[in-house]
Amino acid sequence: MKVLIPVAGIGSKLRPHTHTQPKALVPVAGKPILSHIVDNLIEAGMREFIFIVGYLGDKVEEYIRSNYPGIIKHFIIQEPREGTGHAVWLARHLVNPGDELVIALGDTIFDVNLREVLSSETSALAVKRVDDPRTFGVAELDEDGFIRHVVEKPPIPKSNLALVGLYKIRESQELIQALDEIINRNQRTQGEYHLTDGIEVMIRNGAKIRTFPVENWYDCGSKESLLETNAVLLKKVIPAHQYQFPNTIIIPPVSISEHCRISNSIIGPNVSIGDHTIVHYSIVKESIIGSYSEIRNAVLHHSVIGSDSSLHGLSQSLNLGDSTEIDFG
């Protein structure tokens, strides 16, 4: 079984942070988004990964090679970026007959029993019931619980089962053939080749595909959703730690990385701070601060501060990219 993770997108909704790093490497709850996904899959027993890279893909490759020496890894460049179906299709030479495939979108963190999903005897797609499924791919079920149709962003949905970006495909060759078909006839949805359209072809050709529910999934595609995900994951996955800094109050949950210097401050709740960051005479809550940054005499809440940034003086809610310097005097 192989894992395929598309991480080629530019992450425009996370600007300015994605000016200098790919969305998959934006930190949340103490580590990059991509690490949460890869770590969960490794814990479930996966060892071979295919990364579809594009925008700033060299940084993704460098990160994975440095931090995951024990996995088998392949990198494929998607250029131009023409959708998730196109991303999977580009990896067709690495998918052998008999291979099963797990596809996990590289900007979404899942709360699901992966071992149970991977042991499924049929192909299965992760779903979550949502109030408004018009911005998702949607699964429609038949009376036996198999998927009858999958439709990408339907204007009038016939189901509220939203596809959330995790797929276990047993018939990988059939999926590649279906993607061949939609690409050869230039079947695009909203200008792209969507994975859902390839799966719809599989179903029309007789594939039996079920759904499996996810308790929660965490979309990290905007500042607001990133901070919400940070707060939830800090409560769920960060172990209690007794941080000791001079004249500083720590209000859990927080994640403070190594070699930080913090004094005369109040940190938390729901704060993540990257490596080698300095915080003095400041109050920080509900925020993410990158590595090698410096915060002095500031009041921050609901903020995302990039790496290598410097902030001096009073503030409230900010969204600052890497290598930013602000001095309020």
pLDDT at residue 296, as a whole number: 92
Can you list the pairs that 115-120 forms with residues at least 24 positions away whose Cβ atoms lie under 8 Å?
115/44, 115/45, 116/212, 117/166, 117/168, 117/212, 118/1, 118/44, 118/45, 118/46, 118/168, 120/168, 120/170, 120/210, 120/212
Burial per residue of 120-129, b for 16 or more beta-carbon CB atoms within 10 angstroms, e otherwise: eeebbbbbbe
pLDDT at residue 278, as a whole number: 95
Check residue 258 and report its DSSP letter: T
pLDDT at residue 230, as a whole number: 92
Find the Cα–Cα–Cα–Cα dihedral 215, 220, 223, 229, rounded to 10°. Answer: 40
Check residue 189 and report its DSSP letter: B
Q: Where in the chain is the domain with CATH 3.90.550.10?
A: 2-219
Choices 3.40.50.300, 3.30.1490.20, 3.40.50.970, 2.160.10.10: CATH for 238-327: 2.160.10.10
pLDDT at residue 328, as a whole number: 54
Fold of 2-219: Spore Coat Polysaccharide Biosynthesis Protein SpsA; Chain A (3.90.550)
How far is the C-alpha of 185 from the C-alpha of 197, rounded, in Å? 12
Q: Where in the chain is the domain with CATH 2.160.10.10?
A: 238-327
Return the number of other C-beta atoms located less than 10 Å from residue 35's C-beta.
Answer: 20
pLDDT at residue 184, as a whole number: 93
Splitting the chain (329 residues) into consecutive groups of 10 residues, what average pLDDT does each group show? 90 69 84 92 95 90 94 94 93 92 90 85 90 86 89 86 91 94 90 91 92 83 86 80 89 92 94 94 93 91 88 68 53
How far is the C-alpha of 11 from the C-alpha of 230, rounded, in Å? 17
pLDDT at residue 326, as a whole number: 54
